[in-house]
Structures are given as structure tokens and as C-alpha cells.
Amino acid sequence: MSDEIPPRGAGAPDGPAPAPAHSGRSWLVPLLAALVVLLVVGGIAFAWQQQRPGPGAGRAVAPGAGSAPGNAGSAGPGDAGSAAPGNAGTADPGGAGADVDLGTIAATGYHVDGPRRLSIVYVNGVPDCYGTAGRPRVVETAASVTVTIPRVPAPDADSPGASDRACIDLAVIGSVDVALAAPLGDRTVRDGSRGGAVLPLQSPPDDGT
């Protein structure tokens, strides 16, 4: 028997057959897939953390809550503790807390003494410093009665010795009588020294009888 080795086929390469060209990169596919999963999970966790409510969330305070004008603790106009016009206290020659025309005294209210008679109440300072109430000027219309109380004499800051005058800080309550040309009816009574501010109706003072 012959020991001859049969010849290789034509074109057959010598040595073991080479592995496929892509066999060395097969591990990249699962690695890339794992990286994609990690990125997606990390993005979801980051977005959830950003949307998570912080401490104190759900306790939204309305704008201005706790600091609205007129609340307890803030001294608003007309609050308790402020001297009401016409009450004894510190002198407010202008009266009523509004801008008063120069040379006039602000009225604070009125009494009805009869169909055609009114008493206009005012608050003034010490007469030696702030003058006295003069004869009131009355303007009547179909809807209102406007009363202006002049100050006589009007205080003059340029008069000699005015800066050295000692004035007591004291309110003086007074009233002037007004006679109307027609019954008051339902007309509004206004203060001419404060641009026509409406005067409130007050109860007549108790005469002690």
C-alpha cells in the first residue's frame, strides 16, 4: 500500500482556515446596548429629580398675604388708636386728615337743628396760634349744601415773632350755625375747605337734661 498523501486541491491555502473578520468585534454590540440602557435610565432619574417638589412646596402664599393694608398690627386710616376728628386730643388745625385750603378750617360733621338750620362742627387749634372760625360761606344747589369755614385771622408764618410763639398742642372743638335758603331735605352736606368732602351727620351734643 502506498503512503503517499493526496495532493491538496488547487488554490487551497496552507495552514488552518482564518476566522471570520467580524468575530473579534462581536463583544461591542452588547456593550453598546448596555451603555444606551444606562443613558436612558440616568436621563429618566435626572428628570424626575428636577421635577421633585422641594421643601415647603404646596404652601403657596397669596401675594400680599399677611401684609394687606388694614390688617391687625398695621395702622391703616381710621384704625383704632388714631385720634378721630372732633375728639379731644392733639391739635389738627387742618382737621379730618385731608388737604385743607389755606385760610380755612376743616369741618368734621354737622347737626340738624331744624328744616333750615344746621350746626357745622369743626376742630381747631389754640386761637392765639391758629385763629378762630369766621362767618361760614354757604353754597346751595339742588343736590348739596357746601359750607366753608374761614379762619380769622389766618395764621401768618412771616409775622414778627411767629417763630418764637409757643403753641399748646391742644384740639379745640367748636361749631358754627348755618341758615339755609331752603329746607335741607335729602341734600348732601359738604365741606368747602376740603374740596367738597361729604360731612357725616352727627348726633346733637347731650345738654345734660
The pLDDT profile of the chain, 209 residues, written as one tens digit per residue, is: 555 555 555 444 555 555 555 555 666 777 777 777 777 777 776 766 666 555 444 444 344 444 344 444 444 433 333 333 333 344 444 444 456 777 899 999 999 999 999 999 999 988 888 889 999 999 999 999 999 999 987 556 556 655 566 778 888 999 999 999 999 999 999 999 999 999 999 988 766 54
Determine the pLDDT at residue 163. Answer: 58
- Whether the CB-CB separation of 140 and 188 falls below 8 Å is answered with no
In the chain, count of helices (H) and strands (E)?
Answer: 2, 9
Say how far apart CA 130 and CA 116 lie, in whole Å. Answer: 30
For residue 118, list its beta bridge partners: 112, 178
Coil vs helix vs strand at 139? strand
The reported pLDDT for the residue numbered 16 is 54
Q: What is the pLDDT of residue 64?
A: 40
User: Quick one: pLDDT at residue 204?
Assistant: 81
Residue 20's pLDDT is 53
Helix (H) or strand (E) holding 188: strand 188-191
pLDDT at 83: 35
pLDDT at 27: 67
> What are the residues whose beta carbons fall under 8 Å from the beta carbon of 173, sequence distance 6 or more?
86, 88, 121, 122, 123
Query: Which amino acid makes up residue 107?
Result: A
- For residue 33, give the H/E element and its range: helix 28-51
Q: Which pLDDT score, from 0 to 100, does residue 41 have?
A: 72
- Residue 103, C-alpha cell as written in the block: 385760610
Rounded to 5°, angle at Cα 112 from 109 and 115: 140
- Hey, where are the domains in the chain? 104-156+168-198
Question: Per DSSP, what are the bridge partners of residue 117?
Answer: 114, 179
Pairing state between β 117-124 and 172-179: antiparallel
Contact 137, 196 (CB under 8 A): no
Check residue 113 and give its pLDDT.
94
Edge to edge, the sheet with strand 107-114 lists: 107-114, 117-124, 172-179
Per-residue pLDDT at 168? 80
